[in-house]
Chain A
Amino acid sequence: MTTGTATRPSGGVRRQDGRERRKRTRAAGTTRLAGILLSPTLLVLGLVVFYPLLSALRQSFFTENDELDAEGFVVEGEKFNGLGHYFDAIAGDGAARFWNAVWNTTMFTTTTVVLEVVLGMAMALVMHRAFRGRALVRAGILVPWAIPTAVSGLLWRWIFAPDGIANVVLGQQVVWSADGPQAQLAVIIAEVWKTAPFVGLLTLAGLQVIPNEVYEAAVVDGAGGWRRFLHITLPLVKPALLVAVLFRVLDALRMFDLPFVLVGQQKQSVETLSMLAWQEATNVRYGAAAAYATIMFLYVALVAFALVKLLGTDVVGEARTQLRSRRVRSREAVVA
């Protein structure tokens, strides 16, 4: 590749310089055009993503409407409260409730994602198999994912009602929606039922790109089913699986509608961080609500960062390959 330029006569170098410059100005023009074309998108993003975030952050430093004047009217206006809401949440009056919510959120995320990965993997393996009626099975497995969360919450609430089907099947009188471990179990069951198909779907996509020859070669080498799963399927499906895990973890950390509909508000055993923020906002304590929302945002960001860094989840896989190929190209130019 490099030989082409090396054997050119010296005049050719100047010509090539001109071409480079033209290319560069054309590139600059393209960049500018791209900038112009993208600016509405960036503007909208700024308006709907960054503005609410910053405004919530600002709100979390203020407190309002918490004093009455002599006639019993609320004193208007907001007061700067510094990090007061954050201190309240972490170590002050709200600490017990806050840490309970953090614990619930983390517990639900861990248990549901682990169960979902196991079940989703199994579903994907089943869906991957060629058999009669496979399309039907695939469609059937996807049904729970297609139902809106609030609706499936309602569905499971009927199942877990005192005289619902769950108690009939179990022959017990469990009050599932009462505060306690049984409520947590109900939420976990409903959540896993709902989202395992999602993991299954993403894993299936990963499975389908594994070439069949690899398995054929393994069979020739005498590898059993379990070994093929451990040493071929799992490593090769890992990138897709990790993306699924990342998506699920981020989603589960914001869990709100399912416990809210299934069990109810203010139930200590299932209260998540989102529910806590919602509750404060309902009580017109926007400052505290914003503080909870901000803490949750940081928590989610931290977990996402950790997953990407530690597990090497390749969320933007394509972008990285492009980057790599560009880097290779520029290195070649340097060599030239």
Chain B
Amino acid sequence: MKFRRATSVSIMISALVLPNAACGAGDREHAATEPLEGRGPITFVTGKDDYGVNPRLVAEWNRTHPSEPVRLIELPASGDEQRQQMIQNAQTRSEAFTVLDLDSVWVSEFAANRWITELPEEQFDTSKYLGPPVETALYRGRLFSVPASSDGAMLYYRKDLLDEAGVAPPTSLAELRQACGRVLALPSAAGMSCYTGQFEKYEGLVANFAEVVHGAGGKIVGDDGRPDVNTPQARQALDFLVSGLRSGMIPQQSIAFKEPESRRAFQEGQVVFSRWWPSQWSLLSKTDGSSAVAGKFAVTALPGLAGPGVSSLGGHNVAISSYGRNKATALDFIKFRAGEEQQRKYLEQGAMAPTIASLYDDPALRERYAYLPVLKQSIAGAEPRPRVVDYGEVTQAIQDEVYDALTGAKTSEQALADLQSRLEGLIEL
């Protein structure tokens, strides 16, 4: 009931606002190329972080810039809700939000709607950053945001069990299957399953599906921007997941796994291999008894079907709302947020993967975070999720069809054919 009211309120708000939007289009076009002017107080809008790094960042900025204070606006942790509130802010053309912390897949939508301002490319040295995160910052070749954090998946494995069975960490899914065969035969691996990822019907499924497809040499959206998912490679990839679930190599329950559930499965020693983001490393390493695998696991690059795999790219970019005031201050602030010093702090205090390449090679950091070389490789080779304006509907189509294949409601063949035709209807060129 409460949600319905929220919907009608947002419908109401958009009804109020849209008539103005039509006549305001003229000066908005102007705004996109306008120099970023004005100094003074601004706001930084971001999702709540568990580590409290954002308040520290803002406090540090405010100490050094007393005349241009930044106020932190923390949105709920759920990505959907963050996106919705940012869109609502844009549709009411409110000045309340200045700097937006966007999930990297939203950049196209926000840029295409002119909800965020184009940035002066010459002021950013994009060569310092890893390639794939920079690509997410662009819309049609123009810079609309700066990558502030990144994320790539890695393969976590039970080093103790693999050593015991005398197998090397797998570099492909075929090897992973063989390794499982030998490990699960060990008496100490009784009752375990082989592999898990995140296969519940949500955004994580899209990342997992994209990884196997790209790892098999397939594509979801081709280089020309057209959907190209109905291919033998994608078929093989989807079949790997479907047959894995059917045979129990991937535990049946993982159809209901999001990040926390799949982490718990690995943490409690139920699976040998797990596909996850870097941020669980510290939780798994805890020696307070909460982790059954502390000191017994290691990470390696994500395996592909026959060779090395391709990770899906996560991460957040900072951008300036088109309707915020004091854009010159905002520009300085996003340079500060995405700069090397702050990225180091986000890694040290919040386990957030940096986008600046040199941080991965820092010996002090490598000492503390043994996974950094693997992560760097993962992000540098990662594939961004489809960069489309209607990402919301694209991800929904992928989730629908892939999930139907995983639950057996459709054959992989049918699901991919349906997905291809749905994507063709959604992606405009």
Residues of A within 8 A of B (CB): 51-52, 55-56, 58-59, 62, 64-65, 67-68, 71-74, 76-78, 93, 149, 161-163, 173, 175-180, 251, 254, 256-257, 260, 264-268, 274, 277-279, 281-284, 286, 289-290, 293
Contacts and interface: CB of A to CB of B under 8 A. Distances in A.
A284 B87 contact: yes
A165 to B, nearest CB: 15
The interface size bin for chain B is 35 or more
B358 interface: no
B21 interface: yes
A264 B112 contact: no
Contacts of A59: 11, 14-15
A256 B4 contact: yes
Interface in B115-172: 139-140
B64 interface: no
A268 B409 CA distance: 11
A161 B399 CA distance: 21
B200 interface: yes
A278 B15 contact: no
A58 B84 CA distance: 22
Contacts of A281: 7, 10-11
25 contacts: A51-B12, A52-B11, A56-B12, A56-B15, A64-B18, A67-B428, A68-B112, A71-B140, A72-B112, A72-B140, A73-B112, A74-B112, A74-B114, A76-B24, A161-B256, A162-B252, A163-B253, A173-B252, A178-B256, A251-B1, A256-B3, A257-B3, A264-B201, A267-B201, A281-B10
Contacts of A274: 3-4
Nearest to A149: B1
Q: Which 3 residue pairs spanning A and B have beta carbons closest together?
A: A162-B253, A77-B22, A76-B25
A257 B1 contact: yes
Interface stretch (B40-48, B94-102, B183-191, B389-397): B389-397
A289 to B, nearest CB: 6
A180 B201 CA distance: 13
Nearest to B199: A178
Contacts of A293: 4, 7-8, 11
Contacts of A163: 253
B349 interface: no
A277 B201 contact: no
A56 B8 contact: yes
A274 B7 CA distance: 9
A55 B3 contact: no
Interface of B: 1-4, 7-12, 14-16, 18-19, 21-22, 24-25, 28, 80, 84, 87, 111-114, 139-140, 200-202, 252-253, 255-256, 261, 389-390, 392-393, 396, 399-400, 403-404, 407, 409, 425, 428
Given A51-B12, A68-B389, A73-B113, 7 more contacts: A56-B11, A62-B18, A177-B256, A178-B255, A179-B201, A180-B407, A266-B201
Nearest to A285: B393
A56 B256 CA distance: 36
A51 B112 CA distance: 31
A77 B18 contact: yes
B393 A73 contact: no
A74 B18 CA distance: 14
Interface centre among B1, B8, B11, B404, by most A CB within 10 Å? B11
B202 A78 contact: no
A52 B9 contact: yes
A282 B7 CA distance: 9
B406 to A, nearest CB: 9
A161 B254 CA distance: 11
Contacts of B80: 282
B22 A76 contact: yes
Nearest to A72: B140
Nearest to B113: A74
B383 to A, nearest CB: 21
Contacts of B114: 73-74
Contacts of B403: 179
